[in-house]
Amino acid sequence: MNLTRQEIVIPALTFFSVITIGSSILLLLQMRRRKTLETKLRDVTWTDTDKIPSVKKSVFLHLLERFGNLVSHGQASTSLLEQLVRAGYLSRNAPALYTGIKLFLFMGGLIATAIFIAAMKASIPTKALLVSLGGAVPFFIPNIVLLLQEKKRRDEICQHLPEAIDLLEICVSSGIGLEMAWNMVSDEIQDVSPVLASAMALTNFEIHLGASRTEAMRHMSARTGAQALSSLAAILIQTDRFGTSVASALKEFAASMRDDRRFTAEESAEKLPIKMIIPMVLFIFPAVALVVVAPAAINIAKVILSR
């Protein structure tokens, strides 16, 4: 009888221990992930009332931030805020730091160019023009970097969104709710596309905080700037409003996205011969002409000189 009790109690205790430890680990990871998303969501609001722990920055970055705040009077334009958010810079200090970097590059370019052309023999208007160009060129480097970062994030979203929609459609077709399926898909694609996973997780968290699905979807499309996510948000809003099948809408949308991606690839392939004309004329054709014409030119020169 004692042996039977031990055979029952020991597996039961082992089972409950494993369940308790696993639940604790999952709860800890979920709380950490929730805290991170909450911090990002509060940063996007760009308000001064949120108390977010400050990130340790170097003295140089701190000076650039203070310089940017001083120049911009602590305020940034709405277009700059939206562009920074679309590029992935969600911190409230990003506009001031961005402005400080631009002004630092501008002043550094002016000083470096002035020192470089000080010994040049040129007229004063020429020197002034060169100094202005030396300050203007570095001034616009952050704009280019911001545009490239925004394009990179947008391309990553468009590349991995069809697969994410397929997973979402499978989850919804199996009977899982849209909110739960959305959260599951964002967890699954975290390693494949962190940008898309972060956008989906932030939207789901915003819904949990009390925002409507329509509002959260619109915020997601505004934060990313991806046209595909805007279309997805419009489809989900329409299905929610008219009560149509979410799974069918997602399936059709994923198929249309694949068609668009295939058409884009075919268009790029058709443009390739035209784009290859410039490097062929500049690099390949002179080399081929030199190899073909040079021996004949040498022989002709020898014949002419021998006479």
Confidence (pLDDT) at 224: 82
Confidence (pLDDT) at 112: 86
> Does this model's pTM top 0.75?
no
User: Residue 220 is encoded by which pair of tokens?
Assistant: 């997601």
Q: In this structure, which amino acid lies at residue 92?
A: R
Confidence (pLDDT) at 6: 56
Tell me the C-alpha distance between 263 and 178, whole Å: 30
CA trace torsion 179, 180, 181, 186 (10° rounding): 90
Confidence (pLDDT) at 52: 35
Tell me the C-alpha distance between 183 and 199, whole Å: 11
Confidence (pLDDT) at 233: 82
SS3 (DSSP) at 210: coil
Alpha helix positions (H), the chain:
2-45, 59-72, 78-86, 94-116, 124-139, 141-173, 178-188, 194-208, 213-224, 227-242, 246-275, 277-279, 285-306
* CA-derived radius of gyration, the chain: 30
Confidence (pLDDT) at 15: 66
Residue found under tokens 């002419």: 304
Confidence (pLDDT) at 11: 65
Torsion 81-84-88-94 (CA) sign: negative
How many angstroms separate the Cα of 307 from the Cα of each of 74, 262, 294, 302?
A: 84, 65, 20, 9
CA trace torsion 116, 122, 123, 129 (10° rounding): -40
How many angstroms separate the Cα of 270 from the Cα of each of 12, 134, 221, 258?
A: 66, 39, 31, 18
CA trace torsion 179, 183, 184, 186 (10° rounding): 140
Count of residues in the chain: 307
Query: Each residue's pLDDT tens digit in the chain (307 positions)?
Result: 445 655 666 666 676 667 777 777 766 766 666 666 556 555 544 433 333 334 445 777 777 777 777 777 767 777 888 888 888 887 778 888 888 888 888 888 888 888 888 777 777 788 788 888 888 888 899 889 999 998 888 888 888 888 888 888 888 888 888 888 888 888 888 888 888 888 888 888 888 888 777 788 888 888 888 888 888 888 888 887 887 788 888 888 888 888 888 888 888 888 888 888 888 888 888 888 888 888 888 888 888 877 6
Exposure b/e, 94-111, CB count within 10 A at least 16 = b: bbbbbbbbbbbbbeebbe
Find how far residue 214's CA is from the centre of its chain: 23
User: Cβ–Cβ contacts within 10 Å for residue 296, how many?
Assistant: 9
Q: In this structure, which amino acid lies at residue 189?
A: I
